[in-house]
Amino acid sequence: MGKKGKKEKKGRGAEKTAAKMEKKVSKRSRKEEEDLEALIAHFQTLDAKRTQTVEIPCSPPSPRLNASLSVHPEKDELILFGGEYFNGQKTFLYNELYVYNIRKDTWTKVDIPSPPPRRCAHQAVVVPQGGGQLWVFGGEFASPNGEQFYHYKDLWVLHLATKTWEQVKSTGGPSGRSGHRMVAWKRQLILFGGFHESTRDYIYYNDVYAFNLDTFTWSTLSPSGTGPTPRSGCQMSVTPQGGIVVYGGYSKQRVKKDVDKGTRHSDMFLLKPEDGREDKWVWTRMNPSGVKPTPRSGFSVAMAPNHQTLFFGGVCDEEEEESLSGEFFNDLYFYDATRNRWFEGQLKGPKSEKKKRRRGRKEEPEGGSKPACGGAGTQGPVQVVKEVVAEDGTVVTIKQVLTAPGSVGQPRSEDEDSLEEAGSPAPGPCPRSNAMLAVKHGMLYVYGGMFEAGDRQVTLSDLHCLDLHRMEAWKALVEMDPETQEWLEETDSEEDSEEVEGAEGGVDDDSGEESGGGLRRAPARGAWQVLCPRPPRTQPC
C-alpha cells in the first residue's frame, strides 16, 4: 500500500509539473502574440499618417517572395501586394502596392490610406464587380526575434476603381492561417486549407469556407466524400464545368519529440456542388493522365488560356534531421480539366533560330557534345548549371532546367529541333520556388521568388514573360544579377537583442521611404523551420 501510494503521489506530482509547464508555455505564447499585435498596431499607426492616395512612378519593386500578383479585370495591369525579403539577418515584410502597366512596361507605387497590415503568404483574388475588386485574406507576420508568427484572419477588399482599401468584418470565417488557397467561384470566394504555427505546436487544415460577395457573410462547407488531407501551398483552380480542383501541397506530422516528417502531396481532388445545389458539396478523388509534375512544394499556379491551369517551378527537398538539400525547378506544366490530363509545357524556340538550325544540321561535327537527355531518341529536359561568385566569395550555383521543344499538350514530331542545337539556350527565369504568377491576354508573367545556395538565400526581383499561344521563348522584362544580392552573416544573440530599431521599421537609404519593417531571424534554414515546421521555403504564398 505504501509503495502504491508513493507511486500515485509521484504520478500526481508529474501531472502538476506538466500542468504548470503547459500554463507557463501558454502564458508565454499569449504574451508573444500580444507583443506581435502591439507591433502590428505600431505599423498601422505609421500607415494611418497617409491621408490621401499618392501614385508614384518608380523602378521595379525590390526582391520578394510570398507576395501576390493579380490581374486587373479591366485594364492591362498587374497588381503586386505584400511579400517578404530575408537578407541573412532580418526579414522585411511589406504591405506596399505596386501596379505594372503591361503596355507601357512601367511600374507605379500606389500609397493608399489605411492599407492592410504588413504580411506574406496571404491569398488575393480579383473579381469584376464594381469596376474590379481585389480581395485579400489571411497571411502572416513575424516577431522581431523570428521565433513567433502571427497569422491573420482578416478580410480586406481593394476597390480598384476608387483605389481605396476596406476591411470587411464578418463572423464565422476561417481561423488565422497562412499558405491557404482561395478562388473566385460564381459570386463567392472559396477558401481551402493552410496552416497555423504557435510556440507549442502547429496545425494544418483541410476545411472549406465560402464568402458570399453579395451578402458579405462567411459559411462553412461540409462536403461529403473523402477529401484531401490537411495541407498548405496546394494548387486550387476552377474548372470550366464549375468544379474546383485541389492538387498537391505540403504538410508535416510530428513522429516523435522534436522530430517532424514532411510530406509532399501529389494527389488530386475535385470539389463540386452535389446535384447542382450550391448548399451541398462533394469531394471526389481524381486520377489524371498525362505527364504529371514531379513531387515538389513551393510551386506557383495561374490560369492559362483555354481554362487550363498552369503550374510553374517549386522545390523538392531531401530532408534529414540536421540538414536538408533541395532541387529547384523552372519547368512548366498544364492541367486540362476538360480532359483530366497533365501536359508538359514545351518551348519551340524562336522561329529564326529554328530555320538556322535546320539549314546547319548536316554540318554538325561528328561526336559533337550534347547534354544527356535519357535514352536514345528521347528529348527530355536539359539541365544547365551556372556558377556565380558573390562578393564575399560564396559560390552560388544556379540549376536551370530547359524543356525540350514542342507545342503545349502535343507530342513532338521527329523533325523538331532541340533547344541545345541552337548553340545557346533561350533565356528564361532561373529555377525558383514561391514565385508570383499572373496571366493576361495569353501572356504568362513570372516575378520574384527565391532559391538557395548552401545557407545563403537568394531572393529575386526579376520579371519574365512567355507567350502561351506561341510557346517560343521567354522574354526578360526586368533582369537581376544574383551576384549583387545583399547577404549579411548571422549575428550573435547579444547583438540581435540590441537591434530593436530594425524590428520596428526604418528608412530605406536608397529611396528615403519607410521600409517594410526589419525582423531579425535565424539563418535561412533554421528560420524557415521556425516559420512553419517544414523544410525551408516550401510554403508558397
Taking the C-alpha atoms of residue 77 and residue 101, their distance in angstroms, rounded to an integer, is 5
The single-letter code of the amino acid at 307 is H
* Angle value at C-alpha 90, between 85 and 96, nearest 5 degrees: 40
pLDDT of residue 313: 97
Contacts of 174-177 spanning 24+ positions with Cβ under 8 A: 174/137, 174/138, 174/205, 174/207, 174/209, 174/218, 175/151, 175/205, 176/138, 176/150, 176/151, 176/152, 177/138, 177/151, 177/153, 177/205, 177/232
Whether 223 and 313 have beta carbons less than 8 Å apart is answered as: no
320 exposure class (CB count in 10 Å sphere: 0-12, 13-18, 19+):
exposed
In Å, what is the CA distance from 422 to each residue of 354, 386, 464, 491? 8, 18, 21, 47
Taking the C-alpha atoms of residue 451 and residue 432, their distance in angstroms, rounded to an integer, is 5
pLDDT of residue 59: 96
Domain made up of 26-169: CATH architecture: 6 Propeller (2.120)
Chain center to CA of 207: 20
pLDDT of residue 200: 74
pLDDT of residue 502: 35
Closest CA to 188 of 207, 209, 202: 209
Whether 82 and 119 have beta carbons less than 8 Å apart is answered as: yes
Q: How many CB atoms lie within 10 A of CB 31?
A: 12
Taking the C-alpha atoms of residue 532 and residue 541, their distance in angstroms, rounded to an integer, is 13
Closest CA to 166 of 95, 113, 109, 97: 113
pLDDT of residue 350: 77
Taking the C-alpha atoms of residue 519 and residue 144, their distance in angstroms, rounded to an integer, is 5
Q: How many CB atoms lie within 10 A of CB 224?
A: 11
151 exposure class (CB count in 10 Å sphere: 0-12, 13-18, 19+):
buried
Chain center to CA of 121: 6
34 exposure class (CB count in 10 Å sphere: 0-12, 13-18, 19+):
exposed
Q: Which three cell numbers stand for residue 253?
A: 506530422
Closest CA to 522 of 532, 513, 530: 530
pLDDT of residue 238: 97
Instruction: Name residue 308's beta-bridge partners.
Output: 304
Taking the C-alpha atoms of residue 347 and residue 332, their distance in angstroms, rounded to an integer, is 10
What end-to-end distance do the CA atoms of the chain give, in Å? 60
pTM of the full structure: 0.77
Whether 437 and 69 have beta carbons less than 8 Å apart is answered as: yes
pLDDT of residue 28: 56
Pairing of strands 54-58, 106-111: antiparallel
Mean pLDDT by 10 residues, the chain (541 residues): 56 57 53 77 81 95 96 98 90 94 98 96 96 97 73 97 97 96 97 88 95 97 96 96 96 84 94 86 97 95 94 86 77 97 92 48 37 34 49 46 43 37 62 97 97 90 97 95 83 44 37 39 29 34 43
Taking the C-alpha atoms of residue 499 and residue 477, their distance in angstroms, rounded to an integer, is 37
Taking the C-alpha atoms of residue 427 and residue 233, their distance in angstroms, rounded to an integer, is 28
Q: Which three cell numbers stand for residue 188?
A: 463567392
Give 39-66 pLDDT, tens digit per residue.
888 788 888 888 899 999 999 999 999 9
Give 303-347 pLDDT, tens digit per residue.
999 889 999 999 998 766 556 678 999 999 999 999 999 999 999
- Those residues whose C-beta lies under 8 Å from the C-beta of residue 215, and which sit 6 or more positions away, are none
Using only the alpha carbons of the chain, give its radius of gyration: 25
Pairing of strands 289-290, 341-344: parallel
SS3 state of residue 521: coil
pLDDT of residue 90: 84
